[in-house]
Amino acid sequence: MNENPEVGAWLDQLDHPLTDVIRAVRRVILEADERITETIKWKSPTFMYEGNLASIDPKAKKHVSLMFHRGAEIPGEHPLLEGDGKVARYIRFPDAGSVDQKRDGLTAIVRAWCDSRD
The per-residue pLDDT for range 16-53, each reduced to its tens digit, is 999 999 999 999 999 999 999 999 999 999 999 999 99
Q: Cα-Cα-Cα-Cα dihedral of 65, 70, 76, 79, to 10°?
A: 20
Instruction: Tell me if residue 2 falls in helix, strand or coil.
Output: coil
pLDDT of residue 91: 98
Reported as a pLDDT band with limits 50, 70 and 90, residue 118 is confident
Domain count, the chain: 1
Q: Which residue range is the domain that position 22 belongs to? A: 5-117
Q: How far is 92 from 37, CA to CA, in rounded Å? A: 21
Q: How far is 75 from 59, CA to CA, in rounded Å? A: 29
**112 and 76 Cβ atoms separated by less than 8 Å:** yes
| Single-letter code of the amino acid located at 31 | E
Q: How far is 66 from 50, CA to CA, in rounded Å? A: 18
Q: How far is 106 from 4, CA to CA, in rounded Å? A: 20
Reported as a pLDDT band with limits 50, 70 and 90, residue 1 is confident
**5 and 39 Cβ atoms separated by less than 8 Å:** no
What CATH number does the domain containing 46 carry?
Answer: 3.90.1150.200
